[in-house]
Amino acid sequence: MLITQTLEKLQALRLDGMAQALEEQRHQNDIVPLSFEDRLALLVERQWLWRENRALVTRLKNAQLKINASLEDLDYRPSRGLKRAQIEQLRACPWVKEHRNCLITGPTGCGKTFLACALGAQACREGHRTLYFYAPKFFRALETARADGSLLPLLKKLARAPLVIIDDWGIASVPGKLYR
């Protein structure tokens, strides 16, 4: 079979990662000694990683996090009051899997938003859908959705995300219309 046809079929099957890996294997001289099974395993592994990376990029894009933050970039100086052990417990996201809440409090400028976005990015890496909202905009979106009849789709979107981050909760009051 011609390699061009194989590559076209892999792309038609949406196996783009495997197609890229096959193309790379064709140009590697040191791959020849490997058995068929080993080469196939490398192709499958590449496809797996390609899909995982695409899914992560999609989750991060859909999360719309305010800051590109990661837990590795946290500053643990004593003045910040962050406990490394506590953050490490949050890293694996068991609290997200268990549908538990995480409330981050502190004075203005202490890094609450950074920490929330870092936890959100970590949840995306762990495979969880995440949504980030700035509280005043979130409340306006709820009011608008209620008024224009699109509240149900918005609530479904929220329900599909195991982690919803609402930043600056205390800045805006919750509109009374939402309670009725």
Residue ranges and CATH numbers for the domains of the chain are 3-63 (no CATH), 71-178 (3.40.50.300)
**pLDDT tens digits, one per residue of 73-124:** 988 888 778 888 989 999 999 999 999 998 888 888 888 899 999 999 999 9
**pLDDT tens digits, one per residue of 113-145:** 999 999 999 999 999 999 999 999 999 999 999
How far apart are alpha carbons 120 and 139 in whole angstroms?
Answer: 20
Q: Nearest CA to 130 among 85, 105, 93, 104? A: 93
* In the predicted structure, residue 179 carries a pLDDT above the cut 80: no
Average pLDDT value for residue range 53-60:
94
Q: Which two tokens stand for residue 122?
A: 């970590």
- Name the strand (E) or helix (H) holding 92: none
How many CB atoms neighbour CB 137 within 10 A? 13
